[in-house]
Structure 1
Amino acid sequence: MASLKTSELHFAMFPWFAFGHMTPFLHLSNKLAKKGHKVSFLLPRGAQSTMEPLSLNQDHIHFFPLDIPQVDGLPPGTETASDVPVYNHTHLCTAMDQTQHQVQAILIFLNPDISFLRFQLLGSSLGPPSRHQVRLLRGGVRGGSCHKANAVAEFGSGLTLYDRLTTGMKECDAIAMRTCPEIEGPFCDFISQQYAKPVLLTGTLLSETQVAPLEDRWAMWLNNFKPSSVVFCALGSQIALDKSQFQELLLGFELAQLPFLVVLKPPQGCATIEEALPEGFLERVCGRGVVYGGWVPQLSLLKHPSVGCFVSHCGFGSMWESLINDCQIVLVPYLGDQVINARLMVEEMKVAVEVERPENGWVSKENLSKAIESVMDDSEVATLLRSNHATWKDIVLSQDMEGGYFDSFIQNLQSLLVNC
């Protein structure tokens, strides 16, 4: 048996072309670099300027930009999931498939020890340039209950999302998950048994960058309100609602009679937020409500003492950010992994409520307002949620969660190379 390699390792990172995926890959890269390992990060050329400031070790983390090809169905210049509505992500996946030769050439040149991948490339297992492949798994197939609408639809060149995820896990050497046994132990065991592969747990992978101070515009507005009184809503960079659902949500925040800051992309068919607002809305909520269509520092906003409720799509990054803060949590998931994350927080951890909605997924203003009010009062349910949330916050922020699991994660990665 070969001796265990304990010297510097070289990792390649190739995430799905969405900032919600690239960012945790970079958090992982930062932690590996802090331990003295080298990371080569493959990403769309246009995304590099956004991701580079999040890199905490320029000596150990190097970016390799990819030129994203133009494919039918994608507007010119599309590079990431933020550039197009969700229904166009299948075409973005086709474009990602077509970077195959660029990716192979880079990996042959780099010859990394281990590659971390989010999706399986069509027609290539990306081998043998890296000796081992690790799939960084997040959502979509928890307990085999993949969200059906997303699972069976074509996602890219002739494959479904389910095919991509399961094929990748069958062909990889190990499966990495950003979680811990306290939160998802049974699921991790199930995945390991299902695919007969080791499941390596990274822990929380919380960002090590300092929380930036809020801009004056947000700090001054929030300072006008009592502690824990403001409802903050952010549904992520991928969700663009239709105009009627967009307006219904805003009417729900108005109905809740609490101050609110809502961050949403302009709805489909609208160039700006302003043109999509319900008639008379701004006049009715003047002084207590803001709707914004740009980027905001979500973590900084969640830490402001005036923010008492977070209405979230339950993307995985937002899930962790909500857990490490004190806000009450209301969930409005839209995509497959968000639905599964919501089940975890509502049914297993019992730290959040999900907005009730019928089979067609419509979120009514009444149900949104009801969910917000249920966590913002002093009822038995709201008190239980606060207590459970405080317990999980302590667990997530514990030293073992941040340090101990990641040390074990690296040791397990090193063990993959023993028989290389």
Structure 2
Amino acid sequence: MREFTDVAPAPVRQVLLKLHSRCNIACDYCYVYQHADQSWRDRPRVMSRSTIDLAAARIAEHAGKRDLPFLSVVLHGGEPLLAGPDTIDYVVRAVRGAVTSHTKLAFGVQTNGLLLDDTYLALFARHRIRVGVSLDGPEAANDRHRRFADGRGTHEGAARALRRLNEAKHRPLFGGILCTVDVTNDPVEVYHHLLEFEPPEIDFLLPHGNWDNPPPARVPDQGRTPYADWLVPIFDRWYESPAPESRVRLFESLVSLLLGGPGGIEGLGLGRVDLVTVETDGTLEQGDALKTVAPGAPATGLHVRWNSFDEYLEHPGARARQAGLAGLGAECRRCPLVEVCGGGHYAHRFRALTGFDNPSVYCADLAALVRHAARRVAADLPPGPPAA
């Protein structure tokens, strides 16, 4: 791996706490359980209170040392609600109690929604925890991949959770919907179904894969763009809406970057990745998507007991994900779309022979989507001054 030591790393601003290492459903595309890295098998099911205390101390240490105005803590898994209300309550209290600086803390939880009940809703309201729910579309679309281990679908339970979150008294907790793209589904049907729940935000996620293990429908054929073909009709409906019903993070980031602004998601633009993951055993890891690359790919050898977040930021993997243009392969650095595309998601660039010095396995799709959005945006911009 190349080293990038000439620029000081940006601080951690997102901490993903793995509260539970198991899940109550068995999605067939899951990057935690269905891919190369199987380290979850050897980890504690639930993060212990002693590990929570250590993580809280590291969060406080980093927030104070870096004088952070804002820091986000995401409760994750597996399925984080399996950890139980008492554990989640303890986590929030421990982190808030440890952070004595002026740092504003925001808590969120990403869940499949099946365990969301009155107890959790009251807990989340008390601690101001925003709730994101995963749903891939209507029943047939969602239940193709998001199923229980015995084959039963999960759409009904997820939809029930989303309806609860959209009730007036729970609406402030509603963070949004995470949808993994499946190109065999009708994109407009999926989009309209998600909008029925009136989410404040929708996040479309490309299924994780790389050049050695391509995602579904993404064969190494640069003449085909199945994922762009799926996203473009949704982009057009979102872009043409006078007041979009819901934010779409992917599209907002894309338009912002086209207009010279910042991106907002990992996988677009050249912004620095400011995330660290704390596993249930207290180990510090890079992003979960690297679990699709190889056994041990996300590992850093660091632990909250002995290592600070600043030490994590010095790890070669963390450095590479903050290196911007310099962290890309030669082909990407030459590309005219690189300021917007950013080389795609780091994990999607992997090839065993060349590591991460490759374009994204979604290169053709990203290029097609960026060019389509650029045409739409350019058509709406006022004409520039006449040439001198």
RCO comparison, higher one (Cα < 8 Å, 6+): 2
Specify the structure having the higher radius of gyration (Cα).
1
TM-score, structure 1 normalization: 0.30
Which protein is richer in helix relative to its size? 1
